[in-house]
Amino acid sequence: MRLVRYSNPNVRSLAPAFGFSSRSPWTGLEDQIDQLFDSALSGLVGSSRTQFPVDLYEDKENTYVRAELPGISRDDVSVELVEGYLTITAARKEKAGDGEESVSFSRSISIPEDVHSDKVAAAYQDGVLTVTLPKREEAKPRKIAIEVK
Amino acid sequence: MSLFNSLIPSSGRAVTGSGNGHSPDIGPSVKPAYEVKETDDAFGLTVYLPGVSKDGLDITAESDQLRIAGRRAWKQPEGWTALYRESPAVPFELVLSHDNAIQLEKIHAELRDGVLRLSLPKSETIKPRKIAVA
């Protein structure tokens, strides 16, 4: 009996040690470990510089999204809520020698609860953007733009 | 369990036990993203410390190493449930060693919006010097 979740054979499971016909019993575990490393190393590895970490919290009244975006200007942040997806777009500008270096970030997060889209608020402090999304009973798809304080 | 030890590389791990002899032990910590730039007169260090305020920041300069420790100012309020987390809830710690080529008393630090910018002026001894022949 296998305790690992089934997943399609990948390149590693076709490694010569196991032969081409049999699947590595560690496939599921490998995937899980990969995910673990991806999440633990995101934001630290140079190639994923444009990906920023996001935390999701809730209490009785609100859902909160906290995004780690150090060094961005408030004018360069835009927060949009479209049909259950919250999209955060930001840019960081730095003086690099004579010119200016700009790094842009963008991320969409699925919001689990239906929210009062006209009462969404955002605040930026110490390099962390906090978006407060008040909960509501019924869902109404609409697009809104949110001002960042 | 020996399989796990071989699967998980010891170098380049994000969360370290911090038991490697750094002066004040702050427990588990995460290494922040940082950049080092060099000019003729100084080294410029940029460290990204989201969520760290001036009060939680601790910079220690010694003759051979520079240690930056940043505690997150924000604490999860009572009643908040984490649905999904990507940021580690541990302090930041960055230790950089140098060969005493920095004027420690002239280090300038500035923290704004979670970005720490340090200017580390080079010591006179390593700056190029012209020697006149008598």
Does the residue A1 lie in any domain? Answer: no
A83-98 mean pLDDT: 82
Which range has the worst mean pLDDT, A19-28, A50-59, A65-74, B44-53? A19-28
Are A85 and A135 within one domain? yes
Does the residue A102 lie in any domain? Answer: yes
In terms of residue numbers, what domain contains A110? 49-146
The CATH number of whichever domain residue A67 belongs to comes to: 2.60.40.790
Are A86 and A21 within one domain? no
Does the residue A5 lie in any domain? Answer: no
Tokens of A30: 């490998």
| pLDDT band of A6, cuts 50, 70, 90 | low
Does the residue A129 lie in any domain? Answer: yes
- pLDDT per residue as tens digits for the range A58-77: 887 888 899 999 988 888 88
Pairing of strands B65-72, A143-146: unpaired
Query: A24 or A35: which carries more pLDDT confidence?
Result: A35
- pLDDT per residue as tens digits for the range A77-90: 899 888 778 899 98
| pLDDT attached to residue A7 | 54
The domains of chain B are located at 29-74+87-127
| pLDDT attached to residue A130 | 92
- Is B116 a residue whose pLDDT tops 90? yes
Does the residue A29 lie in any domain? Answer: yes
| pLDDT attached to residue A24 | 64
What contacts B17, CB < 8 A, 6 or more positions away? B28
For chain B, say whether A98 makes contact (Cβ under 8 Å): no
Burial A44-72 (b: 16+ CB within 10 A, else e): beeeeeeebbbbbbbeeebbbbbbbbbbb
- pLDDT per residue as tens digits for the range B4-39: 444 444 444 444 444 444 456 677 888 898 989 888
Highest averaged pLDDT of the listed ranges A17-21, A39-43, B57-61: B57-61
Are A67 and A120 within one domain? yes
Are A23 and A77 within one domain? no
Chain B nearest C-alpha distance from A140 (Å): 23
- pLDDT per residue as tens digits for the range B87-112: 888 899 999 988 878 888 889 999 99
Task: Report chain B residues whose CB lies below 8 A from the CB of A57.
Answer: 76, 80-83
Are A36 and A57 within one domain? no
**Residue range B29-74+87-127, CATH number:** 2.60.40.790
Q: Do B83 and A56 touch (CB under 8 A)?
A: yes
Does the residue A118 lie in any domain? Answer: yes
**The total number of structural domains that make up chain A:** 2
Mutate to test the interface with B, among A57, A59, A95, A103 (most CBs of B within 10 A): A57
Q: Do A68 and B87 touch (CB under 8 A)?
A: yes
Are A59 and A113 within one domain? yes
Give dist(CA A2, CA A55) in Å, integer.
33
- Is A45 a residue whose pLDDT tops 60? no
Are A141 and A73 within one domain? yes
The interface predicted TM-score (ipTM) is: 0.70
Does the residue A94 lie in any domain? Answer: yes
Q: Give the global pTM.
A: 0.66
Are A59 and A37 within one domain? no
